[in-house]
């Protein structure tokens, strides 16, 4: 059964002061890079990109990619709201929904191989959830098996995936991803990324 992917790109980047989705890195915006990674890893399965604060501005970055785009009208409530928006679209458009992977656009070192490793670990361990692990925490990207999707639907709007993982630690297997600690929330983090 294939693994669908939800790429969350709904935030307003308030701490950064400009849309992080459109920041250039190695010749592409962070959003385009993440979307291409998702499409490569999905290998024909559904990829849903959830927008929010910005919608029209992001669409050109997704042009030509086999993705579905949905706008979360309540994006400002938090990551949980965006995640459930993407999940609802997948449930409405995919006859048999297997596992899904949730990823963000501000982790530039996520690769198709990492996303595929989440799926391999899910199959080999039988654990319903497989999270990336970095800096002593479990976080995104994270895979939710079909048996975990009903739980995911109960996620509060203002909660992120990491909160969910802390609540259900016994359900979680992990894949090491030290570069996951590198994301882009502030101008300083973006400046540090550019010199890597």
* Structural domains of the chain sorted by starting position, each given as residue range(s) with its CATH number in brackets: 4-194 (3.90.550.10)
How far is residue 55 from each of residues 22, 44, 58, 188, measured CA to CA in Å?
12, 24, 5, 26
- What number is the average pLDDT over the span 69-87? 95
Q: Is the pLDDT of residue 9 over 70?
A: yes
Give the pLDDT score at 109: 95
Q: Could you identify the residue written with the tokens 């849903």?
A: 48
Whole-number Å distance between alpha carbons of 178 and 187: 21
Tell the burial category of 90 from Cβ atoms under 10 Å away from its Cβ (0-12, 13-18, 19+). buried
CA angle 88, 91, 93 (to 5 degrees): 105
Whole-number Å distance between alpha carbons of 124 and 103: 21
Convert the pLDDT of each residue in 110-139 to its tens digit. Answer: 999 999 999 999 999 999 999 999 988 899
| Residue 184 · residue 193 · CB < 8 Å | yes
Q: What mean pLDDT is reported for the chain?
A: 92
pLDDT category at 185 given cuts 50, 70, 90 is: confident
Please tell me whether the overall predicted TM-score, pTM, comes out greater than 0.85 for this model: yes
């Amino acid at each position: 059964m294939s693994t669908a992917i939800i790429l969350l790109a709904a935030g307003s980047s308030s701490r950064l002061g400009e849309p992080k989705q459109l920041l250039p890195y190695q010749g592409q915006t962070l959003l385009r890079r993440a979307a291409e990674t998702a499409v490569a890893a999905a290998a024909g399965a559904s990829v849903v990109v959830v927008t929010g604060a910005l919608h029209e501005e992001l669409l050109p970055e997704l042009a030509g990619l086999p993705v579905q785009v949905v706008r979360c009208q309540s994006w400002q409530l938090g990551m949980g709201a965006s995640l459930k928006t993407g999940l609802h679209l997948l449930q409405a458009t995919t006859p048999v929904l297997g596992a899904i992977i949730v990823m963000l656009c501000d982790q530039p070192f996520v690769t198709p191989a990492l996303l595929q490793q989440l799926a391999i670990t899910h199959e080999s361990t039988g654990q319903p959830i497989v999270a990336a692990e970095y800096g002593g925490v479990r976080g995104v990207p994270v895979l939710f098996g079909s048996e975990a999707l009903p739980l995911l639907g109960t996620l509060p709007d203002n909660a992120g995936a990491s909160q969910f993982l802390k609540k259900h630690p016994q359900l979680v297997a992990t894949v090491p991803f030290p570069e996951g600690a590198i994301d882009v929330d502030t101008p300083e983090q973006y400046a540090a990324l550019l010199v890597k």
